[in-house]
């Protein structure tokens, strides 16, 4: 990821004030996604893609890229975590229904591991997502690029 520097004498060529407001809005939408089952997450990513070109070459470009990466990495991790849980749950039910004690134990152990791994991954995703929102938003408020 590139770092952009701003000098005192640099004349803004774009509406940076408007882009700053848009970034504040998209960070807020990412935060509210926890309460809207991800619907505001989708709105934020659309805004990021639509307005990313306007920030090209400015310090704000890093914020658009940061938010877009947060979205895509979050989606990939969420899919993996959900798949682990959905594979683990049926294995657990199959273990409960099995009449062979060894098979039952094996399936229940596998199920427990997969469900735990998926749940732990979801916990990590939520913490990571909050970290990315807070760190990015603090950098935006300080008018700094996101590393």
pLDDT by residue (tens digit) across 81-99?
999 999 887 766 655 556 6
Residue 142 CB-density burial (10 A; 0-12 exposed, 13-18 middle, 19+ buried): exposed
Residue 119 CB-density burial (10 A; 0-12 exposed, 13-18 middle, 19+ buried): middle
User: Rounded to whole angstroms, what are the CA distances from 68 to 2, 107, 123?
Assistant: 15, 39, 21
Split at pLDDT 50, 70, 90, the class of 113 is: confident
pLDDT above 90 for 143: yes
Q: What are phi and psi of 92, to 5 degrees?
A: -65, -45
Q: Comparing 33-42, 100-109, 123-132, which segment has the lowest mean pLDDT?
A: 100-109
Cα angle: 91, vertex 95, 98; to 5 degrees = 135
Tell me the pTM. 0.78
Q: Domain locations in the chain? A: 16-141
């Amino acid at each position: 990821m590139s770092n952009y520097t701003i000098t005192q004498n640099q004349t803004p060529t774009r509406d940076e004030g408007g882009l700053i407001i848009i970034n504040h809005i998209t960070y807020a939408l990412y935060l509210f996604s926890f309460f809207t089952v991800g619907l505001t997450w989708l709105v934020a990513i659309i805004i990021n893609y639509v307005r990313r070109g306007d920030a090209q070459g400015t310090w704000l470009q890093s914020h658009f890229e940061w938010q877009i990466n947060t979205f895509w990495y979050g989606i990939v991790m969420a899919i993996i975590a959900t798949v682990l849980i959905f594979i683990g749950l049926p294995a657990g039910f199959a273990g409960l229904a099995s009449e062979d004690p060894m098979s039952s134990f094996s399936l229940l152990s596998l199920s427990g591991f997969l469900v735990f791994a998926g749940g732990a991954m979801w916990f990590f995703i939520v913490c990571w997502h909050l970290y990315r929102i807070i760190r990015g938003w603090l950098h935006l408020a300080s008018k700094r690029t996101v590393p």
